[in-house]
Structure 1
């Protein structure tokens, strides 16, 4: 058995526009702050060390009002502009046709992930779609990966598993879980020093099949 676990934002789909709109909605409505650029917001999300409450809202922690407002706004916004990266749909179906098991592990809340992937008509291709809220642990913790592998009765000696992502947290999560990983550079992070780098979704087929 082979299992491929995908990150979502920046790997399967582009959600940058909607994230930016919702962050700026909270900035304006809750704090009367000027909007941030999409580039700034995406770079902040992908920083190794970051303080997103301060970067986004100039607060030391996420205030409940801001968190609730973002989640309510983004739940509606997240299906307005997302799109699958070119070649993702075909790649997923080819993997399935070859008997590969597919799942998603994202730091986004599970309800957003399922809503967005359903909207893009690919949710049914995955056995498990899990967000960090499901187990109260985000990447680079290996817990989401371990949860997925357990659902498959995964045997490390007999089976093979890969994590595909666009962030060092994805790679560290895979390392911490003891599985293979490949860094996707078509998404939010355009370069990487990871030992396996894939330039297009179709390249996934070359390393998995």
Structure 2
């Protein structure tokens, strides 16, 4: 079995770091700051998409993104935490599956975070925003991750907290599980998968029981 995990809202909570980095960029460019609810509603999308949706002019978007990244890099490890049961989920998953990370975050910073939490060695691949042309919900990030595995006769699952994760899985032709530890609601996730759990550990234990029952 191959399990691919999203990061934000699935394994980690970096909401504080994300919001602070957005507000820092608004301050630098004297931009009318969007409220936190609007920013949170966009988490999971690429940064340029988020800034565009928040009203930043097209010619300034990449300046905002660069300023965001510069600040985020400084604070990410201090202002990001593992979600409850996330460490247990990864450790349990590693006992019966090959693991990967597919995120819209910058891969470089994602790897630093997972090393900080002592979990990076459980994953065979990490695909971040800079590794693909087309981020989630496109199939490309998942298909790119799967190049690192022998997929022959393997069940493949994407575990994520937003419709972007579930749509990416559908577009890549793999199975998906929604978790309620992140940013999309149960009502939203139900439109894209009939498998929804409270968190990643519940999802992993369900898959473990499926695998066991097949033998």
Normalising by the residue count of structure 2, what TM-score does the alignment of the two structures yield? 0.86
- The 5 A counterparts of 1:22-41 are 22-30=21-29, 32-41=30-39
Residue of structure 1 equivalent to 2:109? 112
- Give the C-alpha shift of residue 145 in structure 1: 1.1
What is the CA deviation profile of residues 92-150 of structure 1, one whole-angstrom value per residue up to 9, with x for unaligned ones? 1112123x111100011111211111222211111101112112220111112112212
| Structure 1 gap ranges (5+) | none
- Structure-2 separation of matches of 1:145 and 1:169: 12
In the alignment, does 2:188 pair up with 1:189? no
- Give the C-alpha shift of residue 33 in structure 1: 3.1
What is the CA deviation profile of residues 185-209 of structure 1, one whole-angstrom value per residue up to 9, with x for unaligned ones? 1112232213111112221134311
Residue of structure 2 equivalent to 1:83? 81
Aligned alpha-carbon RMSD (Å) = 2.0
CA contact (8 A) 1:86 1:201 kept: no
- The 5 A counterparts of 1:77-156 are 77-98=75-96, 100-155=97-152
Runs of 4+ with >6 A deviation: none
Residue of structure 1 equivalent to 2:211? none
Residue of structure 1 equivalent to 2:13? 14
**Structure 1 residues 109 and 62, CA, compared in 2 at 3 Å: closer, same or farther?**
farther
Q: What is the aligned residue count?
A: 202
- Structure-1 separation of matches of 2:60 and 2:103: 20
CA contact (8 A) 1:27 1:56 kept: no
Residue of structure 2 equivalent to 1:179? 174
- Structure-2 separation of matches of 1:137 and 1:55: 18
- Structure-2 separation of matches of 1:55 and 1:149: 31
User: SS state of the match for residue 151, structure 1?
Assistant: coil
| Structure 2 gap ranges (5+) | 209-215
User: SS state of the match for residue 164, structure 2?
Assistant: helix
